[in-house]
Amino acid sequence: MSKSLDKSVGLFSFLALPMLALILAIKNYRMPWSKNVVWAFMAFYAYHFSPPNEGADIKHYIEKFINYSFIDFSIQDFIISQYSEGSTTLDILEPLTSYLLSRITDNYHFLLLIYGVIYGYFFSRNIYYFIDSTKENLSSKSLAVLTLLIIVIGIWNINGFRFWCAAQIFIYACFNLIIYKKIKGYLFLILACLMHLGLLIPSLILLLFKLFKLPVHIVFGVFLVTFFLAELDMEVVRTSINNFAPDFVKNKLNAYTSEAYVEVVSEKLESYSVFYQLSKFIRIGLVVFFSSFLLINKKLFQKDKFYQLFVFFLTFGSFANILSQMPSGGRYLVITDFILFGITFYFIQNYKNARLSKYINYTIPIILVYGFYNFRVIGIHTFNIHHFINNPIISLFIY
């Protein structure tokens, strides 16, 4: 089949039934058009997105968007209002996108569509960056780790659009700065911070990583030590913020570290199932095992350009282990997991004779159970009948 015909199959199957197009794209993952079908499916998925629960972040975005449609502000007045005294808004991209679209329509499904287009672009590029860098047909071991990669920051993370889209942009910047060494990576770092200020910390860590190089064994030792640090004293954290943080971020940081917020997050975590608590230990086991696999094969891997991405993972992961002890800080661990799973997938697939690689077979059942649990918690609740039987043309006339 010619490449042009392949592209036509992808396009027409998407217009007819996006779910079928997604299956074809997965089956033909080596074809250049497959990543664009995944991107298009994510836009379609977002258009029909179902909030996973009553307190879902996406409902807040929708409510805010509808409110914007009733406000007769100029764009200048809108931007000024975002930075008024007492406001905690510093990341302007999402509110500005929502405001500009509200000038055209009050149908929130089009807002979700825009979310899907933006998030889907970076998600598909990040996933396919790892896939396109591998050789030959994917082994069962590689497929298991790839499943982890796809699920750890899944398409359903569009529910928390600001942070998780910013995370995908940040990861995209990492590829450009660490692997490609392209200056445009700095632009994506800025975009990530403008999407969510929480990505300022990872961005600063990346800049420090670019400036200072430490031996991988030292960084790995620090990374392991941070797993066992005692719990942070939040009062010390709050005092440090008030004494040293720039004025423009104090309100935001104080909101995330306030006693009330800490209590709410703690109560929420305590209410989670036993399996959720167990999944945290499974995650630690997988992270330590994959990291050890990459370290033990240092001599074999170190000349590969991807190995520097592993060293960055260890650097960022050391900070993320500490930050995870703060409310909402666990999100940074998820970003580091994405990077680690991607690197592990790459080396397992491309270096068949690497030491310890055969033992990864024993982790496959654990990986699949862990991945299924993560999908079941949120992902499964975001799908509805439209995702399976509808198409983009009919969808335009539904809402």
DSSP string, 190-206: HHHHHH-GGGHHHHHHH
| 267-291: pLDDT as tens digits | 444 445 566 677 788 888 999 999 9
The pLDDT, as a whole number, for residue 84 is: 64
Whether the per-residue pLDDT at 300 is higher than 50: the answer is yes
- pLDDT above 70 covers a percentage of the chain that reads 84
Contact in structure between 219 and 315 (CB atoms under 8 Å): yes
Neighbour-count burial for 351-377, b at 16+ CB within 10 Å, e otherwise: eeebeebeebeebeeebeebbebbbeb
pTM for the full predicted model: 0.89
The pLDDT, as a whole number, for residue 73 is: 81
Whether the per-residue pLDDT at 110 is higher than 50: the answer is yes
The pLDDT, as a whole number, for residue 6 is: 67
Contacts 24+ apart (CB under 8 A), 247-251: 248/90, 249/90, 249/197, 249/200, 251/86, 251/87, 251/88
Q: State the chain's mean pLDDT as an integer.
A: 85
What span, in angstroms and rounded, lies between the C-alpha atoms of 44 and 41? 5
Local confidence band at 164 (pLDDT 50, 70, 90 cut-offs): very high
| 120-161: pLDDT as tens digits | 999 999 999 999 999 899 999 999 999 999 999 999 999 999
Q: Which of 301, 307, 291, 306 is nearest to 220 (CA)?
A: 291
What span, in angstroms and rounded, lies between the C-alpha atoms of 364 and 289? 13
CA distances from 329 to 18, 27, 220 (A): 35, 36, 21
The pLDDT, as a whole number, for residue 86 is: 56
| 21-55: pLDDT as tens digits | 999 999 999 998 999 999 999 999 999 999 988 88
Amino acid found at 381: H
- Sign (positive/negative) of CA torsion 344, 345, 350, 355? positive
- pLDDT above 90 covers a percentage of the chain that reads 61
Amino acid found at 342: G
Angle at 211 between CA 339 and CA 295, to 5 degrees: 40
| 186-242: pLDDT as tens digits | 999 999 999 999 999 999 999 999 998 888 999 999 998 887 774 544 454 445 445
The pLDDT, as a whole number, for residue 252 is: 54
Q: Which residue has the higher pLDDT, 196 or 256?
A: 196
Local confidence band at 258 (pLDDT 50, 70, 90 cut-offs): very low
Q: Tokens at residue 197, please?
A: 């200020």
| 375-388: pLDDT as tens digits | 777 788 899 999 99
Whether the per-residue pLDDT at 246 is higher than 60: the answer is no
